[in-house]
Structure 1
Amino acid sequence: MRNVLLIASLALAAATGLAGCGSSAQPSTGSTGTNNAAAPTTPCKADDFKVTGEFGKAPKVEIPACKPTGELIIKDLVQGTGAEVKTGTTATVNYQLTTFSNKKVLDSSFERGEPFDVENVGKARVIDGWNEGIVGLKEKGRRLLVVPPAKGYGEGGNGIAPNETLVFVIDGVKVTPAA
């Protein structure tokens, strides 16, 4: 009985070891078992993100092959012509959220046809990236926000994975002055 257990244990260990080696049909890369695709080392800049589409319509966002930074990235894609979002105002916006890691649209008020009101900008009940990032947006303007985890959902929540970088395209629909 001991021999049967010993042989079974050796066979299991051998099978487990071979499973991680890959097939002989694949060329050897000298890898140590890590992903062969090199992780990007160049930090992302605003101009690395490509956004197409016109104001008022759902945008198409291309996530670049760069390394997300820990900084909030803000870039006006279309300069607005109306009132400007200031601390304390209410900003009515349309937005689209694309996650950096898997390049998927996670939420879009454009698709729902329902703009979103951000009341008391600067102290609104939204992520810090929005409280900071929409100040200065004007009505009829379109803005790109790339929000690092520390200014987004950090350890995750609301359907967002832990440490996710969030890519928003935000259209300024209306600005209402503080009461």
Structure 2
Amino acid sequence: MTDQMPQVNAEFGTTPVIEFPTPEAPKGLKVVELTEGDGPIVRRGDTVTVNYHGVVWGKDTPFDSSFDRHQPASFGIGVGQVIKGWDQTVPGHNVGSRLVVSIPPEYGYGSRGIPQAGIGGEDTLVFVIDIISTR
């Protein structure tokens, strides 16, 4: 599965650089742990603080990046505060981990997408997520 996933620099805390192996995204929701952290495990219902970088599969420019803003984001995980793809892939990983997640529309923004962000209804999203803390 990892050969279908984008290649990302694995160093936690560095702005992600994403290279796509194929023009077509893999089917389904996929997550690869690039760096395994040694902090507490994230559980559903926790409030996590993360840095993230989100792009549409195959694109260079992020539609959203807390790395670019130099401002991590905090929210409840596994409780519907973020897209399903995050709720289903972030819990179970440790603080200090870097993940790359491929999220098809049904686990992202659905068939409507978010046109103002450049996200179409058929677009697969790719997020690189650094888990900073959980509580």
Deviation at 1:64, TM superposition (A): 1.8
Say which of 116, 123, 130 aligns to 1:164: 123
How many residue pairs are counted as aligned between the two chains? 131
Deviation at 1:127, TM superposition (A): 0.5
DSSP-derived class of the 1:65 partner: coil
Q: Does the CA-based 8 Å contact 2:10-2:34 persist in structure 1?
A: no
Q: Return the alpha-carbon distance in structure 2 between the equivalents of residues 75 and 50 of structure 1.
A: 10
Number of the residue aligned with 2:56: 99
What are structure 2's unaligned runs of at least 5 residues? none
- Give 1 or 2: higher helix fraction: 1
Q: Return the alpha-carbon distance in structure 2 between the equivalents of residues 46 and 164 of structure 1.
A: 20
Number of the residue aligned with 1:56: 13
Deviation at 1:68, TM superposition (A): 2.0
- Give 1 or 2: higher strand fraction: 2
**Aligned residues: percent identity?**
35
Deviation at 1:83, TM superposition (A): 0.7
TM-score, structure 2 length as denominator? Answer: 0.89
Number of the residue aligned with 2:80: 124
Aligned amino acid, residue 52 of structure 1:
N
Q: Does the CA-based 8 Å contact 1:101-1:164 persist in structure 2?
A: no
Deviation per CA, 1:78-132: give whole Å up to 9, x if none: 001001111111111000001114343221101111111121x211311100000
**Residue 46 to residue 103, structure 1, CA distance change in 2 (3 Å):** farther
Is 1:142 aligned to 2:98, yes or no? yes
**Residue 101 to residue 162, structure 1, CA distance change in 2 (3 Å):** farther
Aligned amino acid, residue 96 of structure 2:
K
TM-score, structure 1 length as denominator? Answer: 0.68
DSSP-derived class of the 1:168 partner: strand
Q: Return the alpha-carbon distance in structure 2 between the equivalents of residues 173 and 132 of structure 1.
A: 18
Q: Report the aligned-residue RMSD.
A: 1.5
